[in-house]
Amino acid sequence: MSKQRIAVIPGDGIGPEITEATISILEAAGFQAEWVYLEAGLGAVDKGKPPVPQETIDAIRDIGTALKGPTTTPSGGGHSSANVTLRKALDLFANVRPARVLPGVKTVFGDRNLDLIIVRENTEDLYAGIEFMPQKDTALAIKVITREGSERLCKYALVMAREQGRKRVTAVHKANIMKMADGMFLDSFYRVAKEFPEIKCDDIIVDNCCMQLVTKPEQFDVLVTENLYGDIISDLCAGLVGGLGLAPGANIGENCAVFEAVHGSAPDIAGKGVANPTALLMSSIMMLRHLGRHDIADKIANSIMRVCSDGKCLTIDLGGKASTNEYKVEVIGQLA
Ligand code: ATP
């Protein structure tokens, strides 16, 4: 039988370090793949190529599954975001970001339980990239929300909730102010929700959602939301469960999927060998489940749980002293 092919984008900053650790652990757990390395981000731009070269897009489209390290996007100018380009080019419309407290990891609210999933729209909203200046010192950015995009996303979130036995899906919006754009998103949610009578469907305004997430996060199960709110809320939730080093993600399209951590390229710690690879590793667990390899996914997830609850080999972001490599060796050692 030929090996499963997986596209790999190591990315920028801490990307290559955490990608190496993740792939070593996947292989040690028994996942044999043909890793097809591709360029994107600063590395590509520095060679005079676009942030996502066409050959990278074509290869992921052909292979169907990619594991991606973070890529750097400069603020205020410079090259466009490789993430946004990839998500649009491959029509990766749903960004799935689970936030779960791991045993042994200290969180801002003690040992309270939190296990929710954010499903973020991934191609529309202010990320459509339509910005212009009609006159000096006035900049306009266009927010794009479509009925088709909203219904497709909400349906994905509700199907996922049904498959995972989740009980509640909450749409997050600001329809009291953006009555047309967010109003249509909300209306789309409730239209689709009619097909899922067994799931409690409700909605919340984004600012109240943030307050509730900080004070009573356990009440939420699945949050489905637009692109920008989803971006902000998922960092908030990453903070709740112990930091960006623990927040995985999946970008899902009709024909391909790209798995990547929520965090960025962390240039402040790049090259120091101290980055926490868990978020990318947990993204690779989502990839394994997507590929139906639940056996290996369970093996790695259990090992992460053991290492975290043991608490002796945690990376610096989690209050430990372990390097990326020491953590990798420990996770491999705990694979049962
Ligand atoms: P980018 O511009 O690529 O988004 P950034 O530094 O603005 O980079 P993040 O990379 O998300 O944003 O990092 C935010 C903070 O979290 C930084 O202090 C970074 O060191 C820390 N951080 C992010 N990811 C990790 C990780 N995997 N391990 C340890 N610390 C991390």
Rounded Cα–Cα distance for residues 26 and 23 (Å): 5
- Per-position DSSP letters for 208-243, written without gaps between them: HHHHHHHH-GGG-SEEEE-HHHHHHHHHHHHHHTT-
Give yes or no for residue 317 CB within 6 A of ligand 1.
yes
Of 58, 111, 207, 295, which one is the catalytic site residue? 207
Atom of ligand 1 nearest to the CA of 261: 27
Residue nearest to atom 2 of ligand 1 (CA): 72
Q: Please name the residue whose Cα sits nearest to atom 17 of ligand 1.
A: 266
Same structural domain, 227 and 120: yes
DSSP assignments along 91-129, one per residue: T--EEEEEEEPPTT---TTTT---EEEEEEE-SSBGGG-
Decide if 187 is catalytic: no
User: In the beta sheet, which residues pair with residue 223?
Assistant: 118, 170
Atom 31 (ligand 1): residue with closest C-alpha? 245
Q: For the chain, what's the residue count?
A: 336
Query: Does 149 score more than 80 pLDDT?
Result: yes
Residues 175 and 214 in one domain: yes
| Residue of 125, 231, 299, 317 marked catalytic | 231
Residue 121 pLDDT exceeds 80: yes
Q: Kindly state whether residues 330 and 194 are assigned to the same domain.
A: no
Tell me, yes or no, whether 66 and 22 share the same domain.
Answer: yes
Q: How far apart are CA 78 and CA 195, in angstroms?
A: 45
Q: Which residues contact 12 (CB under 8 A, 6 or more apart)?
A: 41, 42, 43, 69, 70, 71, 72, 265, 267, 270
Q: Is 266 in the pocket of ligand 1 (CB under 6 A)?
A: yes
pLDDT at 333: 96
Same domain, 175 and 295: no
* Ligand 1 center to 267 CA (angstroms): 7
Does the annotation count 62 as an active-site position? no
Confidence of residue 158 (pLDDT cuts 50, 70, 90): very high
235 is catalytic: no
Q: Which of 227, 245, 263 is the last residue of a domain?
A: 245
Domain that residue 152 falls in: 101-245
pLDDT in tens, 76-120: 777 788 998 999 999 999 999 999 988 878 788 777 778 999 999
Question: d(Cα 265, Cα 289) in Å, to the nearest integer?
Answer: 25
Residues 235 and 135 in one domain: yes
Q: What is the pLDDT of residue 62?
A: 96
The pLDDT confidence band at residue 128, using thresholds 50, 70 and 90, is confident
Write down which residue in 226, 245, 264 finishes a domain: 245
Reported as type and span, the H/E element at residue 332 is helix 324-333
- For the stretch 201-233, pLDDT in tens is 999 999 999 999 999 999 999 999 999 999 999
**Cα gap 185→180, rounded to integer Å:** 9
The Cα–Cα gap between 174 and 309 comes to 39
Residues 136 and 85 reside in one and the same domain: no
Identify the residue with better confidence: 81 or 144: 144
Instruction: Please tell me the distance from the alpha carbon of residue 106 to that of residue 82, in angstroms, as a whole number.
Output: 33
Query: What average pLDDT score do residues 69-73 get?
Result: 92
| 329-259-23 Cα angle (round to 5) | 25
Residue in 117, 111, 112, 86 with CA at minimum distance from that of residue 99: 117
Ligand 1 neighbourhood includes 137 CB (under 6 angstroms) = no
Lowest mean pLDDT, pick from 9-23, 235-249, 263-277, 319-333: 235-249
Cβ contacts of 173 within 8 Å, gap of 6 or more? 182, 185, 186, 203, 204, 205, 206, 225, 226, 229
Same domain, 47 and 79: yes
- Please tell me whether residues 194 and 312 are part of one structural domain: no
Whether 328 is catalytic is: no
Q: What global pTM score does this model have?
A: 0.92
225 in the same domain as 134: yes
Predicted confidence at residue 184, as pLDDT, reads 98
The Cα angle at residue 244 between residues 242 and 250, in degrees rounded to 5: 115
Say yes or no: 16 and 151 in one domain: no
Q: Is the model's pLDDT at 61 over the cut of 80?
A: yes
Q: How remote is the C-alpha of 260 from its chain's centroid?
A: 6
Which tokens hold the place of 115?
């296990």
Assess whether the C-beta atom of 276 lies below 6 angstroms from ligand 1: yes
Q: pLDDT confidence of 146, banded at 50, 70, 90?
A: very high
Closest ligand 1 atom, residue 280 Cα: 27
Mean pLDDT, rounded, of the chain: 94
b or e along 93-128 (b: 16 or more beta carbons within 10 Å of the residue's beta carbon)?
Answer: bbbbbbbbbbebbebeeeeeebebbbbbbbbbbbbb
pLDDT at 1: 63
Domain shared by 301 and 327, yes or no: yes
Q: Please state the atom number of ligand 1 nearest to the C-alpha of residue 75.
A: 2
**Binding site membership of 76 for ligand 1 (Cβ less than 6 Å):** no
Least confidently predicted of 12-26, 128-142, 143-157, 184-198: 128-142
> What value does the mean pLDDT take over residues 152-156?
98
Last-in-domain residue among 223, 245, 267? 245
Residue nearest to atom 9 of ligand 1 (CA): 264
What tokens does 18 get? 């955490």
Which tokens in the block code for residue 230? 């989803």
Res 78: pLDDT: 74
Q: What is the pLDDT of residue 76?
A: 73
Number of domains in the chain: 2
- Pairs from 184-188 (Cβ < 8 Å, separation ≥ 24): 184/145, 184/147, 184/150, 185/145, 185/150, 185/226, 188/147, 188/150, 188/151, 188/154
Q: Cα(263) to centroid of ligand 1, in Å?
A: 6
Residue from 12, 20, 80, 244 to probe ligand 1 pocket by mutation (most atoms less than 8 Å from CB): 244
CATH number assigned to the domain comprising residue 137: 3.40.718.10
Instruction: Map tokens 């080019």 to a residue.
Output: 89
Name the 3-class secondary structure at 131: strand
The whole-number pLDDT of residue 209 equals 98
